[in-house]
Amino acid sequence: MLRIGELTVGYEPDAPVLHTVSMALPPNGVHAIVGPNGAGKTTLLHTIAGHLRPTTGYVMLDGHDITGIRTVRAARAGIALAPQGRRLWSSLTVRDHLTMTRPGAATAQEQGCGWGVDDLLEVFPALAARLHHRADQLSGGEQQMLTLARALRLAPRLLLCDEPTEGLAPTVADRIRAVLTDLPRHGVTVLVTLPQTRAATGLAHTVHVLTAGRLSDPVDPTTEHTEDLIRRHLGLTTDTEPPPRTERTTVRACHRPPTHGWHPPSQTPTPIVTRKGDQS
């Protein structure tokens, strides 16, 4: 679904933040990028989302070159970003956020598909009770749910989530992870950045490690030594015997049932049909 090749990105000339980053993600999975502060995780997501133009390299989505396309076109191509820090409109209500955002993917617009407001409130019931509250009146967890709901409203095929569990209570973080885990069943591929190794291995089908702008080969989180391998990529010491060096890991889709009891609004794997009148 997503193929990135030799991507070099920076904010200043001759000072790259990402160094020849390459990555290939299959569709319908949850894929994590783990890395310390300043590694370049946000820079990578923003480059995929069209906020930043790379110096060299390419970004391909479903075989189409989307390198450096503008944000609006990236949304129409099926990419949505749930940014770090949430970036909500503080004076607008939950309902405003959900009704002002419309499906961005061209196919979704043409077919009238997407996540309706009622569907999103089923996914995030906590928001239903807060529909008329302003964003700045929400808790951190509710703000994060609204950030994800707003991104899903764009009917993405690829959802980019930048540290979605940052600063949240464990139970709320579990809830967010449960929602992300289930999105592939609705045709949404998830690329999520996380600072913690353990959270990534419990959530993702593949894990990449980003350190100082350089991306590791994909790590299969189902293997026995995953956490050790990731810790080694991060340059952390480990008490256990290091795993044997393997060839570049083959990405393996391993479908896990959601573990936290969230039931999706639709049983079909395709995007949910928008209900007429849900934008009022």
Ligand X SMILES: Nc1ncnc2c1ncn2[C@@H]1O[C@H](COP(=O)(O)OP(=O)(O)OP(=O)(O)O)[C@@H](O)[C@H]1O
Binding region for ligand X (CB under 6 A): 11, 17, 35, 37-43, 84, 195
Task: Give min distance, CB of 84 to ligand X, in A.
Answer: 6
Of 35 and 50, the one with the shorter C-beta distance to ligand X is 35
Of 28 and 193, the one with the shorter C-beta distance to ligand X is 193
Largest CA distance in the chain: 59
- For tokens 């849900």, the residue is 278
Of 43 and 165, the one with the shorter C-beta distance to ligand X is 43
Q: In what helix (H) or strand (E) does residue 159 lie, and over which residues does it extend? A: strand 158-162
Return d(Cα 105, Cα 113) in angstroms, integer: 9
Burial letters for 160-178: b for 16+ Cβ neighbours within 10 Å, e otherwise? bbbbbbeebeeebbbbbbb
Task: Give min distance, CB of 70 to ligand X, in A.
Answer: 18
Of 130 and 233, the one with the shorter C-beta distance to ligand X is 233
Task: Give min distance, CB of 235 to ligand X, in A.
Answer: 15
Return d(Cα 201, Cα 63) in angstroms, integer: 28
Give the list of residues 6+ apart from residue 62 with CB closer than 8 angstroms, or none. Answer: 1, 78, 157
Of 34 and 120, the one with the shorter C-beta distance to ligand X is 34
Of 43 and 181, the one with the shorter C-beta distance to ligand X is 43
Of 16 and 114, the one with the shorter C-beta distance to ligand X is 16
Terminal Cα distance for the chain, rounded = 34
Task: Give min distance, CB of 39 to ligand X, in A.
Answer: 4
Task: Give min distance, CB of 163 to ligand X, in A.
Answer: 6
Task: Give min distance, CB of 97 to ligand X, in A.
Answer: 23
Task: Give min distance, CB of 190 to ligand X, in A.
Answer: 17
- Give the number of other Cβ atoms within 10 Å of residue 13's Cβ: 7
- In 3D, which of 218, 207, 206 has the Cα closest to residue 249? 218
Q: What angle do CA 54, 6, 244 make, to 5 degrees?
A: 140
- In 3D, which of 219, 216, 148 has the Cα closest to residue 188? 148
